[in-house]
Amino acid sequence: MRIAAANYPVKYHASLLAWEAHAGRWLRELNGKNVDIAVFPEYGSVELVSLLSPELQQDAYAQIRAIEEFHDAFLELYATLARQHEMIVVAPGFPVSERGKVINRAYVFSPAGLAGYQDKLFMTPFESREWGVSAGEPQLTLFQMERGSFGIQICYDSEFGIGAHALAQAGAGVILVPSCTETLRGATRVHLGARARALENQCYTIVSQTMGEALWTPAVDYNYGYCGAYSTPDTGLPELGILQTGPHQQAGWMIQDFDLSLLDKVREEGAVLNFHDAAGVTQLLNGEPLKVNKVRI
């Protein structure tokens, strides 16, 4: 399975057409590279705030709700791009208004169209206090491909074991971690979380982050990011569990090949058997087990 993770700058766009062209250019960079999945970061869609009025651009709470007017155009664009480039695309995270609250959502598109989504379950203090963003429903999505299955843990979710555990036990070999953080400390927490999840579940993880400054919006004005791909440090895999990391604060793609057959081997013959030994562990969210929906794409 070949996955490309974006270290993605939040850009100002003069028009909807300019934004569409920008998204198209990013995916065209992957042409000819035989990528199966392209992963954009959490809150990457907030660049659409640049199309709002100056007053809304300075109101973090209001702008997260106002970009809902671009939601249909967003879905149409990424469905088109996934079809054109014949790959699975985890689109830049979009704050969706649903059932009277705003939810942080990662949409997944296949060449056949919208395949599903994953909502964020754990809110950072900034999301809940400043933005009024709420947790999604307590459920996960396992995306099943011919080459293997993957799940998504959005940013702060990767710092908790429950979601990745449920996804891995359901069949995920790779956990995608789209993220948006303001500082190196924040980025480090997410990468450490991704490494811990790879260790616990003897699976792979890959991180995509926002980077650079977007001073025209207080929502994502400062961004610190780099990409990383991780495994458990065990038989046949890197001694440090680091497949690769990309340059800090530099826009571009990081491409990583994942050999899922190595996971089967390490889960059966590794120095330790975390995946097997965790099978009997029960983890609850608000007193209930997480439900995993399976989607074939």
Domain that holds residue 120: 2-296
Domain count, the chain: 1
The amino acid that residue 235 corresponds to is T
Inter-residue contact 267 to 273 (CB < 8 Å)? yes
Please report, for the domain that includes residue 81, its CATH number: 3.60.110.10
- Tell me what pLDDT residue 97 has: 93
- Tell me what pLDDT residue 52 has: 96
Sign of the C-alpha dihedral, residues 57, 82, 77, 11? Answer: positive
pLDDT tens track, the chain, 297 positions: 999 999 999 999 999 999 999 999 999 999 999 999 999 999 999 999 999 999 999 999 999 999 999 999 999 999 999 999 999 999 999 999 998 999 999 999 999 999 999 999 999 999 999 899 999 999 999 999 999 999 999 999 999 999 999 999 999 999 999 999 999 999 999 999 999 999 999 999 999 999 999 999 999 999 999 999 999 999 999 999 999 999 999 999 999 999 999 999 999 999 999 999 999 888 889 888 899 999 999
DSSP string over 2-31: EEEEEEEE----SSHHHHHHHHHHHHHTTT
Sign of the C-alpha dihedral, residues 64, 48, 116, 143? Answer: negative
Q: Which of 259, 257, 253 shows the shortest CA–CA distance to 5?
A: 253
- Tell me what pLDDT residue 282 has: 86
Inter-residue contact 102 to 96 (CB < 8 Å)? yes
